[in-house]
Amino acid sequence: MSKVKMNYNDMNMDITEEEIKELEAAEKKPATFDEDCPEMTMEQLMQFKRINHDNRTKPTVSLRISPSTLQKAKQYGKGYTGFLSRLLDLAIEDDNLIRKCI
């Protein structure tokens, strides 16, 4: 199962240094699933909707992708362009992945 990650900026609120340290410590701990909190399936995760609380708009760009990549992205349903945007946001932060692609 892939990890879902949220940045502090996504929280849209002031956060103290102590809270940041607590979040960083929690991030290092493994997720523990049980009967009260089972691991979610991909189908369950797909039901979540991203809520963008800020009023910033993202610029629109055009780029070429392979037909197979587009087909795979469309399998995630409505909102697949937002999914691609978030995927690119994560990928651009991964130095190893960038080295593979250059």
pLDDT in tens, 12-52: 567 888 988 998 898 899 888 999 999 999 888 888 876 66
CB 76 within 8 A of CB 83: yes
Task: Specify the residue for token string 């009023």.
Answer: 55
pTM across the whole model: 0.46
- The CA distance from 44 to 35, in Å, is 16
Of 53-57, 60-64, 87-91, the least confident: 53-57
- Spans of all domains in the chain: 8-101
Contact partners, residue 45, CB within 8 Å, separation at least 6: 4
H-state helical runs in 11-56? 17-28, 42-46
For the chain, the 3-state helix, strand and coil shares in percent, each to the nearest 5, are: 50, 0, 50
